[in-house]
Homo-oligomer: A and B are copies of this chain.
Amino acid sequence: MPESCVLVLDADPLPRLDRLAGRARVLHADGAAALARQLPEADVLLVWDFTSDAVREAWPGAGARPGWVHTASAGVDRLLFPELLSAPTIMTNARGVFDRPIAEYVAGLVLAMAKDFHGSWKLQQERRWRHRETFKVYGSRAVVVGSGPIGRKIGSLLLALGVEVTLTGRRERTGDPEFGRVAAAGELPALLPEADWVVCAAPLTEETTGLFDADAFARMKPTAHFINIGRGGHVVEPDLAAALHAGALAGAALDVFATEPLPESSALWDAPGLIVSPHMSGDTFGWRDDLAEQFLDNFDRWAAGKPLFNVVDKQLGYVSGAGEAA
């Protein structure tokens, strides 16, 4: 077959693509302008900088387009623009790489919040010894919004800690081997008042944008905690800040934000009971190599004319069960 052209939307550090040597011509673009210039040549676009909107800005519309776009992220929200949705271009994502790291991160947040580690750290800085009582995690209740691989793995680890877990998905499903029933997204308002832990692990789509707003926070228990490792757009940030100030819920942890990096001036940095982290829940040592390997495994299929794995259903905005050939 003729040599393919793989175009990489660069981020630092660059991916290790040695396995492409002699098999593909690799071009690099470091932003929208370079991307726009080179896209007509590319058979494959690797969106290595998944935080950028350059693809949307540079997309050639009806012009020559790559046949395959892969993003080194689980979320594909930045690629869900009309010209790409309507193009025949196949879209794949990094489904699988982040599941367990993110689940560990969320389990850690649940335990840290239950045991008030933050309170202890504050007291330690003040050299104050003040015994407090804390919550048992065993027997508490979690609602995990999102029943893809990340939501499921979060659910699994919470189950292992003795938490009662309800997952929500696009549609109700019964007979799930691990969770029994997966609730429909529409049941969320009824589930929120019972939850000690509300975890957002959904893809960002039209349906889930702004899902966590004043109404949702008002339904939570004053002792509940909210955790978002999905996308900033899932949360109406001023509503969360107001709910925390009002004591509508006990605390929250955000790893993702509407604007990243979170501006120094943001009021979220010191909202009461809010834990801020810099979009890192899935990024364990070696994650970039894992992402590059995953792309290269899929490239092997592409080069061999086999069906790709992790194919995103562009209408749904994520990989549905049937999208996974592997």
Nearest CB of chain B from residue A21's CB, rounded to whole Å: 27
When distances are taken between beta carbons in the complex, the residues of chain B under 8 Å from A100 are 136, 138, 162
When distances are taken between beta carbons in the complex, the residues of chain B under 8 Å from A121 are 118, 121, 275
Kindly identify, within residues 143 to 188 of chain A, every residue whose CB is under 8 Å from any CB belonging to chain B.
157, 160-162
When distances are taken between beta carbons in the complex, the residues of chain B under 8 Å from A114 are 104, 108
In contact, B280 and A104 (Cβ under 8 angstroms): no
In contact, B161 and A269 (Cβ under 8 angstroms): no
The oligomer's copy count stands at: 2
Map CB proximity to B onto A114-141 as digits: 1 under 8 Å, 0 otherwise.
1101101101100111111111111000
**Which single residue of chain B is at the shortest CB-CB distance from A138?**
B100
Nearest CB of chain B from residue A115's CB, rounded to whole Å: 5
Identify the A interface with B (CB < 8 A): 100-101, 104-105, 107-109, 111-112, 114-115, 117-118, 120-121, 123-124, 127-138, 157, 160-162, 260-262, 264, 266, 269, 275-281, 283-287
**Which single residue of chain B is at the shortest CB-CB distance from A277?**
B120
When distances are taken between beta carbons in the complex, the residues of chain B under 8 Å from A277 are 117, 120, 124
Nearest CB of chain B from residue A290's CB, rounded to whole Å: 10
In contact, A280 and B108 (Cβ under 8 angstroms): no
Question: Given contacts A134-B285, A275-B121, is CB(A269)–CB(B111) below 8 Å?
Answer: no
Q: Complex: how many Å from CA A261 to CA B130?
A: 9
**Which single residue of chain B is at the shortest CB-CB distance from A136?**
B284
Nearest CB of chain B from residue A186's CB, rounded to whole Å: 32
- Name the contact of A284 in the complex, choosing from B123, B134, B157, B276 (C-beta under 8 A): B134
When distances are taken between beta carbons in the complex, the residues of chain B under 8 Å from A269 are 124, 127
Question: Can you name 21 A-B pairs with beta carbons within 8 Å?
Answer: A100-B162, A104-B114, A104-B136, A105-B111, A105-B134, A107-B161, A108-B112, A111-B112, A115-B281, A117-B275, A118-B121, A120-B275, A120-B276, A120-B278, A127-B266, A132-B280, A133-B287, A134-B283, A135-B284, A157-B160, A160-B160
Q: Complex: how many Å from CA A275 to CA B116?
A: 13
Nearest CB of chain B from residue A53's CB, rounded to whole Å: 19
- Name the contact of A117 in the complex, choosing from B117, B132, B161, B278 (C-beta under 8 A): B117
Q: Complex: how many Å from CA A128 to CA B270?
A: 12
Q: Complex: how many Å from CA A102 to CA B261?
A: 36
